[in-house]
Amino acid sequence: MENEIEIHRLFEDLNSAYGFDFTEYAKSSAIRRVSYFMEIHKIPTLPDLTRVLLRNENVFASFVQEFTVNVTEMFRDPGFYESLRANVIKKLSSYPVIKIWIAGCSTGEEAYSTAIWLEEEGLLDRSIIYATDLNPRVVFMAKKGVYNEELMQLYSKNYKEAGGKHSLSDYYRADFGSVIFDNRLKKHMVFSVHNLVADTSFNEFQLILCRNVLIYFNQDLQNRVFKLFHDSLCTFGYLGLGSKESMLFSDNRHDFVEVDRMRKIFKRRY
């Protein structure tokens, strides 16, 4: 309990100093990640950590990078993308301009996955993909679109299982152990920093994907983010969540209808 109080005090100080609000992250996850940061940086106490973070912006940037979770892969949970093709793509094709928000984009794999399936459905040329994350470093990495070549075996497998129509290698070139995704995908993407906790809606979207981010938020914060997504979607716009996430206990659950319960795809009711 003492640790929880001290960590909450730390987060309040960081919010005042930098405008990053971690106060409503799930307690167990927050304690675990703060403890890990202190261990690897050899910082003995929470007051010491507070002093270091408030005095050194570079250390704080490192804290944000390590505190925010950046676990992702291309075409993660392939059945989710199959469901998008089956249940969402026809409606998206009815819009003259398709705006999609990847909230919590991490290093960008989901944004490139989305661009590829839009390309294969003939919709990329009239689409704009907004990929945002709290962490400036991963946003920079996502914009570059450069990944380790060793990952491509897994990503290619996911792509095929997700209903890919060609070969994943058609969309990138290899270069000395790395792969670089094509500019024809990137030109339809906008990468920027956005804080789901503190920032407001910035556009109207037909589809929002926020997968495996909300599991780290407590219920109050989840409610606020669901409200943000509702306000950011057009009428009958779609929302895709991660496999372990749910609207079941959300204050906003009645604002959405289920499109695919298993794959966690929802549609704004009105």
Q: Does 162 fall in a domain?
A: yes
Res. 61: pLDDT tops 90: no
> Which domain does 42 fall in, by range?
2-67
Q: Are residues 237 and 111 in the same domain?
A: yes
d(CA 16, CA 24): 15
We report the CATH number of the domain holding residue 123 as 3.40.50.150
> Do 90 and 223 fall within a single domain?
yes
Residues 58 and 167 in one domain: no
Q: Among 18, 33, 67, identify where a domain stops.
A: 67
Asked if residue 201 is part of any domain, the answer here is yes
Task: Say yes or no: 16 and 89 in one domain.
Answer: no
Note whether 12 and 122 are same-domain residues.
Answer: no
Mean pLDDT over the full length of the chain = 92
Q: Would the pLDDT of 255 be above 60?
A: yes
Q: Which residue type does 134 have?
A: L
Total structural domains in the chain?
2
pLDDT at 96: 97
Task: Report percent pLDDT > 70 for the chain.
Answer: 99
236 falls within a domain: yes
Both 43 and 95 in one domain: the answer is no
Residue 156 has pLDDT above 50, yes or no: yes
The residue out of 44, 67, 90 marking a domain boundary is 67
Q: Which residue has the higher pLDDT, 212 or 255?
A: 255
Q: Does 86 lie in the same domain as 41? A: no
Q: Are residues 41 and 99 in the same domain?
A: no
- Residue 30 near residue 63, CB atoms below 8 Å: no
Residues 228 and 131 in one domain: yes
Does any domain span residue 73?
no
pLDDT number for residue 153:
96
Per mean pLDDT, which range of 71-75, 108-112, 147-151 is the poorest? 71-75
Sequential DSSP letters for 92-153: HTTSSSEEEEEET-TTSHHHHHHHHHHHHTT-GGGEEEEEEES-HHHHHHHHHTEEEGGGHH
Is 251 a domain residue?
yes
Do 151 and 249 share a domain, yes or no? yes
- Residue 52: pLDDT over 70: yes
Q: Decide: helix, strand or coil at residue 236.
A: strand
Within 8 A by CB and 6+ apart from 109, the residues are 72, 73, 74, 76, 147, 155
Q: Tokens in use for 129?
A: 């993909």
At 270 the pLDDT is 85
Among residues 45, 67, 89, the one where a domain terminates is: 67
Q: Are residues 121 and 209 in the same domain?
A: yes
- For residues 167 and 201, membership in a common domain is answered with yes
Give me the pLDDT at residue 123, please. Answer: 98
Question: For residue 26, which of 215, 217, 195 has the smallest C-alpha distance?
Answer: 217
pLDDT tens for 169-200 read 999 999 999 999 999 999 999 999 998 888 89
Q: Is 72 a domain residue?
A: no
List residues bridging with 103 in a β-sheet: 132
pLDDT for residue 241 is more than 50: yes
Please report whether residue 239 resides in a domain. Answer: yes
**208 confidence band (pLDDT: 50, 70, 90):** very high
Per-residue pLDDT at 1? 47
Over residues 227-248, the mean pLDDT reads 94
- Find all residues with CB under 8 Å of 16, minimum gap 6, and list them: none
| pLDDT over 80 (residue 15) | yes
DSSP-assigned letters across all residues of 166-225: S-GGGGEEEETTEEEE-HHHHTTEEEEE--TTT----S-EEEEEE-SSGGGB-HHHHHHH
In a domain, 184, yes or no: yes
> Can you give the pLDDT at residue 2?
53
